[in-house]
Amino acid sequence: MADEKVIEKLKELWTKYEEIDGKFDEEMDPVFKEPYYPGVAEKLFNPDKPMENRITDIGPPYFRQFLPPIIKKNYGKWVSHEIIQPGVLKYESETGDVIYVVRCGTPRLETTDYIREICDIADKYCDGYVRWTTRNNIEFHVDSEEKLKALIEDLKNRKHPNGSYKFPIGGTGASVSNIVHTQGWIHCHTPAIDASGVVKSIMDELFEYFGSHKLPAKTRLALACCLNMCGAVHCSDIAIVGIHRKPPMVEDDRIQHVCEIPLAIAACPLGAIKPATVEIDGQKKKTVRVNAERCMFCGNCYTMCPAMPIADGEGDGIAIVVGGKVTNRISPPKFSRVVIPFIPNEPPRWPTAVKWIKHILEVYSQHANKYERVGDWIERIGWEKFFELTDIPFTEKSIDDYRLAYTTYRTSTHFKFTKHIEIK
Amino acid sequence: MPTVEYKGKVFEVDEDGFLQAGLDAWCQEWVEYVKEQEGIQELTEEHWKVINILQDYYKKNGVAPMVRILSKLTGFPLKKIYELFPSGPGKGACKMAGLPKPTGCV
Ligand code: SF4
Ligand code: SF4
């Protein structure tokens, strides 16, 4: 019954879509039909009258304008899909239509030249249509096996001058797909580690897992360069997060002018910051003091107050967390947990961090059952077994000590003896 | 630190044009200068109401008011504040009032 209602509702929606599409086909925004005119900003923007000719609140373009016709036609009518080889999917519709999808890795940070190359490929094989996935892979859609073969051949042969694949095919099924990551030293002001550099180093080492299906289940990797955790590190199978190990500096001479001091105080999750007054050149200045004993170096105060910088070449580094997931398949979603509290920054290849990640992935791959995500596997065998199997030294840093910490301790006599337990 | 000169006065500013010395350096000329930068035709009483309220609140509390509080204190809905200050309450009004640059994930 419920199913019927859902189908009813969907049918209603599709009718609506068709109406809207009709409107869009008639009056598609000319912006998408005309070639881009680079002088448009200068022509329309008058700095003396910034509100003149101003267009605003128009939102993103309507997505259905950019659907390949075959996808538009079969929208909501797909019946099955099949992964025919790593990186290549085949979808079948109730109308009998078939579409093949080739998924390619990308570095996420891209030049316009690279995007133009993607557009050329899309023009050549896909009637100009292409999409990006939620892990920043690219997907090319083709409607016949001949086109599929030609497309794959073409993609395989495209390389950067130094040898890296431009469009490696993979990222489907039980693979290591792209790493969701952040800005790092390329653009952000609060990172403890780099993003793009670490990601390239890891993906080079795990490349075989991108284009194959040899893992027990898909393994999601993510990276965030500070504890803000932009992205997915808190809910990924294996993730990397940048951390500091020293308290912030306080620039007494300017903090009063560039910071809203109460904001900095309220930014601290541990109440480690209190207001203070100092005398500089005979002048009283408002500032703050940080109780270093209480500070856990989260850097949140620096986010709010530019006069409290915290980054430090030697202090900063990588923490590795594992066992998170977002899907509801079999087990509920999980947060990832700290297993390696610190690995130093080692640009440009981060060998120690890369080694540990690969090692964790391999041990998981060896021991987990089919369909078990990293977190499912660890919960089955127990965390003490995870540490034993992976040879990761367990430190007190993995023991929660923040507010609701109690719920993470073991309130049971159930445990396994491991080599971590020494009986004297 | 870059400086700007306007009508004989020199202001130390950061790269986004916020006053480095905050309210200590704030004066009538600064308001005129930002007015030009922000493309505001004429400063009305309504502009001044926003500036005064921002400054009073900042002096009293050490922080800029939340947008909802600014709206409540001035009686202007957010839309109106944008009409007065096209870059908005943070980049426009706070800059003109000599408050510190807004921080956080903006
Ligand atoms: S994770 Fe932190 S450092 Fe990285 S982009 Fe986000 S806020 Fe910036
Ligand atoms: S770094 Fe974090 S814990 Fe330390 S003082 Fe700043 S906000 Fe508090």
> Of ligand 1's atoms, which has the minimum distance to the CA of residue A195?
4
CATH label of the domain that carries residue B58: 1.10.10.370
User: How close A226 comes to chain B (CA, Å)?
Assistant: 13
The answer to whether position B103 is within a domain reads no
Please tell me the predicted confidence (pLDDT) of residue A64.
87
Instruction: Say how many C-beta atoms besides its own lie within 10 A of residue A252's C-beta.
Output: 18
B8 touches A: beta carbon within 8 Å: no
Non-local (6+) Cβ contacts of A66 within 8 A are A129
**Tokens encoding A132:** 């990006």
Residue of A nearest to B82 (CA): A51
* Mean pLDDT score of chain B: 94
- What is the model's pTM? 0.93
pLDDT, one tens digit per residue, over B70-104 is 999 999 999 999 999 999 999 999 999 999 999 99
Instruction: Say how many C-beta atoms besides its own lie within 10 A of residue A174's C-beta.
Output: 18
User: How close B104 comes to chain A (CA, Å)?
Assistant: 5
Task: Write out the DSSP string of A280-328.
Answer: ETTEEEEEEEE-TTT-----HHHHH-TT-----TTT-EEEEEE--B---
Quick check: B52 and B90 in contact, CB under 8 A? no
Nearest CA to ligand 2 atom 3: A295
The answer to whether position B106 is within a domain reads no
Quick check: A339 and A398 in contact, CB under 8 A? yes
The answer to whether position B18 is within a domain reads yes
Using a CB cutoff of 8 Å and minimum separation of 24, what contacts does A376-380 make?
A: A376/A217, A376/A325, A376/A330, A376/A331, A377/A216, A378/A322, A378/A323, A379/A323, A379/A331
- State how far the Cα of A382 lies from the Cα of A367, in Å rounded to an integer: 13
A192 alpha carbon, closest ligand: 1
> Of ligand 1's atoms, which has the minimum distance to the CA of residue A190?
3
ipTM score: 0.93
> Of ligand 1's atoms, which has the minimum distance to the CA of residue A192?
3
Please tell me the predicted confidence (pLDDT) of residue A376.
98
Non-local (6+) Cβ contacts of B94 within 8 A are B18, B54, B64, B100, B101, B102
Please tell me the predicted confidence (pLDDT) of residue A283.
93
CB–CB of A303 and B103 under 8 A?
Answer: yes
Residue with tokens 């900063």: A316
Please tell me the predicted confidence (pLDDT) of residue A28.
62
Using a CB cutoff of 8 Å and minimum separation of 24, what contacts does A70-78 make?
A: A70/A97, A70/A99, A70/A141, A70/A143, A71/A99, A71/A141, A72/A21, A73/A97, A74/A99, A75/A14, A75/A17, A76/A10, A76/A13, A76/A14
Our count of domains for chain B comes to 1
Quick check: A267 and A219 in contact, CB under 8 A? no
The answer to whether position B54 is within a domain reads yes
The answer to whether position B27 is within a domain reads yes
B24 touches A: beta carbon within 8 Å: yes
A332 preceded by a cis bond (ω within 30 of 0): no
Non-local (6+) Cβ contacts of A330 within 8 A are A371, A376
**Residue numbers in A near B103 (CB within 8 A):** 259-260, 263, 303-306
CB–CB of A262 and B62 under 8 A?
Answer: yes
B86 touches A: beta carbon within 8 Å: yes
User: How close B60 comes to chain A (CA, Å)?
Assistant: 12
One pLDDT digit (tens) per residue for chain A, 424 residues: 578 888 888 888 888 888 887 777 666 667 777 777 888 888 888 888 888 888 889 898 888 888 999 999 999 899 999 999 999 999 999 999 999 999 999 999 999 999 999 999 999 999 999 999 999 999 999 999 999 999 999 999 999 999 999 999 999 999 999 999 999 999 999 999 999 999 999 999 999 999 999 999 999 999 999 999 999 999 999 999 999 999 999 999 999 999 999 999 999 999 999 999 999 999 999 999 999 999 999 999 999 999 999 999 999 999 999 999 999 999 999 999 999 999 999 999 999 999 999 999 999 999 999 999 999 999 999 999 999 999 999 999 999 999 999 999 999 999 999 987 777 6
Residue A253 alpha carbon to ligand 2 centre in Å? 20
| pLDDT for residue B40 is more than 60 | yes
Please tell me the predicted confidence (pLDDT) of residue A17.
81
Closest CA to A254 of B60, B12, B28, B10: B12
Closest CA to B47 of B63, B35, B59: B35
- Name which of A51, A228, A257 is nearest B100 (Cβ-Cβ): A257
**Owning domain of residue B27:** 3-97
Residues of B identified as active-site: 105
The answer to whether position B105 is within a domain reads no
Please tell me the predicted confidence (pLDDT) of residue B74.
97
The answer to whether position B42 is within a domain reads yes
The answer to whether position B92 is within a domain reads yes
Which B residues 33-52 touch A at CB under 8 Å? 38-39
The pLDDT of B16-28, averaged and rounded, is: 92
Task: Write out the DSSP string of B36-87.
Answer: HHTT-S---HHHHHHHHHHHHHHHHHSSPPPHHHHHHHH---HHHHHHHSTT
- State how far the Cα of A347 lies from the Cα of A350, in Å rounded to an integer: 5
